[in-house]
Amino acid sequence: MQLEFTKMHGLGNDFIVFEAPRDGRLPTPVQWRALSARHTGIGFDQALILEPPRRDGTQVFYRIFNADGGEVEQCGNGARCLASFLHLRGTKPANGGDVLLLDSPAGLIRARVHDANLISVDMGTPNFEPKSLPFDASAEAHIYPLAVAGTEVEIGAVSMGNPHAVLTVSSVASAPVDRLGPAIERHPRFPNRVNVGFMEIVDRTHIRLRVFERGVGETQACGTGACAAVAVGRRHGRLDPTVEVELPGGKLEITWHGNSEHIWMKGPAAVSFTGRVEILNL
């Protein structure tokens, strides 16, 4: 199997983008892991697979696979990279507008291209209902106690089309991401696993964030994780509507006015290189 791909990244959260093969065959989980390996493969956090539109007015349908071969619902940095990819190859919004409509397993995503390297994405409305993640809880709450790795932590839980647990910490530099990240990711109260964010609130318009992504590990940036952290911080009354989110790979601007309003993410996307790979039977 041969694939022509484009390697892209959003703040160091990196992807390969390619058209779905005509015969419908995709790499197996073993092949995904080989392709995503940093030292022996292409190296990426996720793969974005483009398919023909399934709904009128949309420009593309796309699927998302993690480095471990698991298919997931949503990725904010991936949505920005995909919008940039479509813009660079000349894809135009329907009806002469300025918004690309991207269809995904999580639903429709609106993306506004300011230029090829700066994209705003409508990430939808944060959903705090435990069943939306899913998360095993008797009732919806702002904060949930969680026994994990021999200690008890407090988390906020929210779906951004994919599940997120958010912990508030005094410093992201000393946050126990390596210890608590994988333990919370696979906690039995999250039957589909969960992305784990560690948020340091600097002031009402600025947070620092590290994210341990489900099926990937800690990444340089996570767009849905940034949205989830701001949504949780806003719900707790500690953040203003527009917040600068400082991640290891760079900064995103997240805007959410609360309640049923949509949350918008603004940040960079860039092409690293293009290539062709022959996938061996592993």
Structural contact between residues 209 and 247, judged by C-beta atoms closer than 8 angstroms:
yes
pLDDT-based confidence at 277, cuts 50/70/90? very high
Residues 174-220 have pLDDT tens digits of 999 999 999 999 999 999 999 999 999 999 999 999 999 999 999 99
Given 119, 207, 222, 226, which residue is catalytic?
Answer: 222
User: What distance, in Å, lies between the first and last C-alpha atoms of the chain?
Assistant: 12
Q: Between the CA of residue 43 and those of 32, 195, 216, what are the distances in Å?
A: 10, 20, 12
Q: Once rounded to an integer, what is the mean pLDDT over residues 252-278?
A: 97
Q: Once rounded to an integer, what is the mean pLDDT over residues 45-64?
A: 95
Q: What is the CATH number of domain 2-122+269-278?
A: 3.10.310.10
Q: Considering only CA atoms, which of 44, 114, 89, 63 is closest in space to residue 267?
A: 114
**Entry pTM:** 0.92
Cα–Cα distance, 47 to 241 (Å, whole number): 31
Residues 100-138 have pLDDT tens digits of 999 998 899 999 999 889 999 999 999 999 999 999 999
Given 48, 72, 75, 111, which residue is catalytic?
Answer: 75
pLDDT for the residue 47: 97
Give the three-class secondary structure for 264: strand
Burial class (CB in 10 A: 0-12, 13-18, 19+), 170: exposed
Q: Give CATH 3.10.310.10 domain extents, the chain.
A: 2-122+269-278, 130-261
Q: Once rounded to an integer, what is the mean pLDDT over residues 154-163?
A: 97
Q: Taking all residues of the chain, what is their mean pLDDT, rounded to a whole number?
A: 95
Q: For the chain, what percentages of helix, strand and coil (3-state, to nearest 5) are there?
A: 15, 40, 40
The domain defined by 130-261 carries CATH number 3.10.310.10: yes
Reply yes or no on whether 81 is catalytic. no
Q: Once rounded to an integer, what is the mean pLDDT over residues 242-258?
A: 98
Sequence-distant (≥ 6) Cβ neighbours of residue 97 within 8 angstroms? none
Q: Once rounded to an integer, what is the mean pLDDT over residues 77-97?
A: 91
pLDDT-based confidence at 94, cuts 50/70/90? confident
